[in-house]
Structure 1
Amino acid sequence: MTEQQAETFIHHVKAESVGAGARFLTRSGEHSAPVADTAVVPDDFGTPAVVVATLEDGSRVRIAHGSRIRIASSRRPAQLPGALAQDDLELIPAEEGTPEAVVVAVARAHARNAGVQRLAARLSRGLNAKAGSHLQDVRDLAHTLFVELDDRERALTVCRLIIDQPFDGNFGRWKWIESALAMAAYILRESGSEEDSAEALRLADTLRTPDDADEDPFRAKINAEVRQRQLNEPNLYDKEIHRAMAAADRTAEREWRELRLTALLYLRTHGGSETLEPVELDRRISNELVAIRALDVQQRNS
């Protein structure tokens, strides 16, 4: 961004809060001429009804009093630390198929979601698939789209930014790729198409890559026994969730349920275990998604 270009940021404000200098955002994302002045017009009973904004080009915009509208201004939104500037979205190279284009498209589609904007702001400058922090941000963005927003199509698109990364022995990096693999495989299975089901099976094979990574026969046997025990007796955070529920701590409950969901998705993609079959895992995953989304609604309404 050159020094001559002033950053402009997206705000969602009430009509009566629109001030001079603000620019309205059209449905296509274009900016209007700056607002020169505003006036409030009451209804026949004296109640504020319409805000009339006069633009510098002489045109007028009528907005229902109390409604919310998108504007662009040079003031960074305080409620969205790290939010993407509108000009940033327009200036980032958006060559189709690049990770940056995917991130920017997601940010535009969910402009009101603070979590999406915060993660997109970090990733839009470029994705380094070798950096664990970038892998985590990609996984967290996909998780927000899938769990919180139920936007499976975009969640799958974001997962595909990293799920083709090979296992290199670094489990610190791999855990984020593994989580994205499990999420993507679940979304694909749920679509019901034969093509998607075949891709889900391929992703499951990729997720199991570390299982056969050790070339030493003795260590491989020991690792297999430990892995099977972990699959049969997984930590699903029952005590932690019950403790949070008893304390009416919705934030803690949601965090523990997200960890449980991640574990369930991994188990399902790995193929289940001797104690938890795929059908049971599908039931638990569905229940967990319902529970987390219900908590989100409660927190928004509180």
Structure 2
Amino acid sequence: MDEKLTLKQAVAQVMEVQALTDYMKHLPARDMRSDKDKLQTLSELGWLLYAKGEHDAAFQIAKPLAQVAFDGNYNRWTWLEHANVLLALTAPEEEKEAARQHAIHAIEQAVRTGDKDIVEVKKDVHKRFLNGDTLDTDSIQRSIDEGDRAGEAARRLILLKNLCKIELLGGSKAYSAERAAQEAEAQIQAIREIEAELGLFKLSPFA
């Protein structure tokens, strides 16, 4: 896990994974134009496959992406951070602890990077995140109210990522890791129900 990759190298490695070929064919061309587009799309694909229970395929996506270091670009880091959390969740047993430590270090290092004032702001945002203050369930309820099942799945996937990150980092007194894990499992079950109803390729990032 100590090997560093550029974004271009990491994306190229994911694109070459044979087990992902059938999924790649269904990804919209508009979302695969640049390396940044590919990063976002592939990171989302990894999480959808994780929710579906295809942990090995998700790991094949997460591992190369998690080897791209934080460079101060938060537009990229959001998706790279998601890949790091996914890596910790899907790594095979013999790699799991190393993957967990790698992911935790990468996330915490990003929080500590920057000028003193910026770091203090990031620490405050991070604390609020671990307390569950920024978890969004309202958008899920809006999708339910509107009967938008695909939109509901996409928003549940976002919530799943955040809950898994809280669990990985140990949670807080206000929002325990155990609570985050339970809520994450509930999101997985809901996403699987929607996937069974609509079909995988009707969900983001395919649609």
Aligned Cα RMSD in Å? 3.0
Determine if the alignment matches structure 1 residue 176 to structure 2 residue 79.
yes
Residue 66 of structure 2 is aligned to residue 163 of structure 1: yes
CA separation in 2, counterparts of 1:123 and 1:153? 23
TM-score (norm 1): 0.55
CA 1:118–1:294 in structure 2 vs 1: closer, same or farther (change >3 Å)?
Answer: same
The DSSP-based 3-state class of the residue aligned with 1:160 is: helix
Write 1 or 2 for the structure with the bigger share of helix.
Answer: 2
Residue 252, structure 1, aligned to residue 151, structure 2: yes
Matched with 2:41 is 137
Structure number with higher relative contact order (C-alpha < 8 Å, ≥ 6 residues apart): 2
Counterpart AA for 2:82: S
* 8 Å CA contact retained: 2:20, 2:57: no
Alpha-carbon distance in structure 2 between the residues aligned to 1:239 and 1:124: 30
Q: What is the one-letter code of the residue matched to 1:118? A: H
Q: Secondary structure at 2:70's aligned position in 1?
A: coil
Please say if residues 99 and 161 of structure 1, whose CA atoms lie closer than 8 Å, have aligned partners that are also in contact: no
The superposition leaves residues 67-105 of structure 1 with CA deviations (integer Å, 9 ceiling, x where unpaired) of xxxxxxxxxxxxxxxxxxxxxxxxxxxxxx994576350
Match of 1:278 among 165, 177, 180: 177
For 1:143-176, what per-residue CA distance to the aligned partner results, in whole angstroms no more than 9, with x for missing partners?
232224x211121011112111111100011111
The correspondence for 2:111, drawn from 192, 203, 211, is 211
Count of aligned positions: 190
Matched residues in 1 for 2:169 and 2:58: separation? 20
Q: CA deviation at 1:177?
A: 0.5
Mapping of residues 24-103 of structure 1, within 5 Å:
99-100=12-13, 103=16
Matched with 2:205 is: none
Unaligned runs of 5+ in 1: 1-96
Contact 1:104–1:124, Cα closer than 8 Å, also in 2: no
- The alpha carbon displacement at 1:124 in A equals 9.8
Instruction: Flag the structure with larger Rg.
Output: 1
Q: Is the 8 A contact 2:50 2:58 kept in 1?
A: yes
How many Å apart are 1:253 and its aligned residue?
1.5
Mapped pair 1:238 → 2:151: no
Quickly say closer, same or farther: Cα 1:98–1:254, change in 2 above 3 A: closer
> Structure 1 residue 106 and structure 2 residue 19: aligned?
yes
Structure 1 vs Structure 2: percent identity of aligned residues? Answer: 22
Shift in alpha-carbon separation, 1:154–1:123, aligned structure 2, 3 A: farther
Cα distance in 2 for partners of 1:250, 1:283 equals 22
Q: Distance in 2 between matches of 1:280 and 1:171?
A: 28
Distance 1:164 1:253, change over 3 A: same
AA aligned opposite 1:170: N
- Distance across 1 between alignment mates of 2:152 and 2:118: 38
Paired residue for 2:163, among 243, 264, 283?
264
Structure 2, unmatched stretches of 5+, are 1-9, 200-207
Partner of 2:193: 294
Distance 1:267 1:101, change over 3 A: closer
Amino acid aligned to 1:169 = G
Deviation of 1:238 (Å): 1.8
Question: Take 1:261 and 1:98, find their aligned partners in 2: how far apart are those partners?
Answer: 23
Indicate whether 1:117 and 2:25 are aligned. Answer: yes
| CA positional deviation for 1:287 | 1.4
Which stretches of structure 1, 4 residues or more, deviate above 6 A after TM superposition? 120-125
Contact 2:87 2:100 in 1 (8 A): yes
Normalising by structure 2, report the TM-score.
0.77
Counterpart CA distance in 1 for 2:86 and 2:155 is 17
